[in-house]
Chain A
Amino acid sequence: MPTVTIAAPRAPSPSSVEEGMLPPGEARPRWFYSHFPTGWEFVEGADGGFLPILDEQISTAGVNGVRAAFDRNGRPIGVDDAPLRTGLARKGAVILEPTDHRLGPWKNYVRAYPCVGGGKAWVFAVERTPGKVEGVTYTILGNGAAVAHDAAALFREFRRWLVDNGIIPQIPQPVYVQLMEVERTALERTINAATSNPHLAAGVKARQDRIKRMEKAWAALTESLSVTPSARLTMPVSE
């Protein structure tokens, strides 16, 4: 019998977490983004401004009409989420289909990490540059616990891009008025609270400054568009 040299032994994987996989508890169902016309917020910072709120609509069987789909042998092959999409459309939501080519570099914005046991954790992540995936990341600690790192800055960039490229229309004027009303109410409450809690005085200044920044951002927005970004009905006329 000839002498055979076998391959070098491999390093063992950590017992609690397999290499490159998340613990089973991190599994999250597949989702897609939607945007409701009234869903806007003012985000502070150089990359902020009035940004659309995007909601993660999970495609899970049993939730909002989503049903499991099976092959002819009864094996699950995914879900039929058409009822969920219909319900969102009925409420005027814009659905951001991850595979929509109009999303350009942000196409396929939802990606999955594999989990131990066969599940998947679907998170926000994109590959704007070939071979370089950005988005939500995880650190696996020595005890097997997974710590998620958000992708807030990238997400703000995505939201700004959606508006700048016309996928989502600019914030309607009535929504801006409503946001300002909320801020002014909060300012009044803070002023009242500061009368008995002097340490809240700094909060009053912060809220006043925030309102000024919102007004400034709105002015810049309307100036750049030359028109108020909302559809208005014409005034009624007497017959």
Chain B
Amino acid sequence: MANEVSYATLITDGGRIAKILAAMLHVNLYDSQTGLRDLMEFRPLTGPSSTLNVAKVSMAYTAAAASSETSGGASNTALATGNFDLTPSRYILKMQPTDLFGITSRGAPVTLETVVAALTLCVDQTLASLLTGLFSGVSGNVGTSGVNMSANDFFNAIYTLNLANNPQQLAAVLHNVQVNDLIESIRGEGGAIQFREDIQGMFKNPGVAFRGDLLGVKVYQSDKVRLANANADRQGCMFSQGAFAYTLGDVAQLLSSSMINPADIIMQSPEMFIERDRDAENAMSSMILNMYPGVAEAEDARAVKITTDA
């Protein structure tokens, strides 16, 4: 026998979990159901600095006629660039099953694998939470404090992004309350728009996370969208690709540098690792997930926040 999944292998035999189970758990790192990391631009953490400074050109130029009253001839034009900082920080999640749990959970729905699975699922959930933390830093705003979200707000967000020359593909991350209010509002829409398939599609109940494609905007729902205005409102956001960026510190180099006892590593990937810490005196085995994410607003003109009643 080899690679069997048992409490013995999980707890007392070096802590490593079976390869097949690890493969399944690695899938958890990328949560296609409620994860929002795809909405951000990934920037690998490079260089010796603790902060990744990214410069980007965000403007197109037109040439001036060589001889006209609008130009003084060939004068230099500075290349305007924007930049943002990605500073990864340590994020942890710790769970501490007891030995009694290991003994009594045999055959129960909640097992040690469940605990490890919960830890791995947190990676995308954390990134989603960090993404919503960026919305308040966006300068553009639509919606009115204390007033339910409406189709008008949705249109206004599209118009705002259009005025800033945003590309076609847009996404909106809204709180559950905002999504409900939006659906309620589009129920009253009239004219040609009421016959659109995507409008009809919003009346379905697809559940959490991705709610549908509305007027060319991919609408996501997340209860991580934060409160605003003294808890009176929720602050969602509509944006195009490139508005927000993220990085995840590569922990593989940390593990290869022998700073951590390999026998204590329960699971590892370049994005995170789960380490075991045994407290024999109290018969508890802590499982600690470590990850180093960083998120930032990359370009303000690519986003508009949507602040409406909570």
Contacts and interface: CB of A to CB of B under 8 A. Distances in A.
A38 interface: yes
Interface string A176-192: 00000010011001101
A62 B145 contact: no
Q: How large is the interface on B (under 10, 10 to 19, 20 to 34, 35 or more residues)?
A: 35 or more
A173 B232 CA distance: 27
B230 interface: yes
B176 to A, nearest CB: 15
A61 B231 CA distance: 22
A200 B231 contact: no
Interface string A36-64: 10110111000000000111111011111
Contact of A68 (B90, B144, B226, B300): B90
Given A38-B140, A56-B136, A193-B190, A65 B90 contact: no
Contact of B191 (A41, A83, A88, A193): A193
Contacts of A148: 227, 231
B30 interface: no
A65 B191 CA distance: 46
A26 B212 CA distance: 29
B160 to A, nearest CB: 9
Nearest to A33: B136
Contacts of A186: 152, 156
A185 to B, nearest CB: 8
A193 B199 CA distance: 15
A39 B231 CA distance: 18
Interface string A111-125: 000000000000110
A193 B189 CA distance: 6
B230 A62 contact: no
B230 A152 contact: yes
Chain A interface helix/strand/loop/mixed: mixed
Nearest to A68: B89
A217 interface: no
A87 B188 contact: no
Contacts of B189: 193, 197
A186 B159 CA distance: 12
B51 interface: yes
A62 B85 contact: no
B146 A83 contact: no
B88 interface: yes
A67 interface: yes
Contacts of B141: 36, 38-39, 41, 53
B230 A55 contact: no
Interface string A135-162: 1100000000000111110110000000
A83 B87 contact: yes
A200 B188 contact: yes
A162 B214 CA distance: 38
A150 B295 contact: no
Nearest to B310: A150
A56 to B, nearest CB: 5
Interface string B51-86: 100000000000000000000000000000000111
A193 B188 contact: yes
Interface in B144-164: 144-146, 151-152, 155-156, 159
A65 B229 contact: no
Contacts of B137: 55, 57, 64, 84, 87-88
A62 B139 CA distance: 20
Question: Which of B89, B134, B226, B307 has its CB near the most chain A CB atoms (within 10 A)?
Answer: B89
Interface in A78-133: 83-84, 87-88, 91-93, 123-124
A88 B139 CA distance: 9
Given A53-B141, A67-B50, A197 B231 contact: no
A238 interface: no
A144 B151 CA distance: 36
A64 B229 contact: no
Contacts of A42: 144
Given A56-B136, A189-B155, A62 B231 contact: no
A41 to B, nearest CB: 5
B133 interface: yes
A152 B297 contact: no
Contacts of B190: 192-197, 200
A123 B231 contact: yes
B139 A199 contact: no
A184 B87 CA distance: 43
A61 B141 CA distance: 25
Top 9 nearest A-B pairs by Cβ distance?
A: A61-B89, A196-B190, A62-B89, A155-B230, A65-B85, A150-B231, A193-B190, A152-B232, A124-B230
Interface of A: 28-29, 31, 34, 36, 38-39, 41-43, 53-58, 60-68, 83-84, 87-88, 91-93, 123-124, 135-136, 148-152, 154-155, 182, 185-186, 189-190, 192-197, 199-200
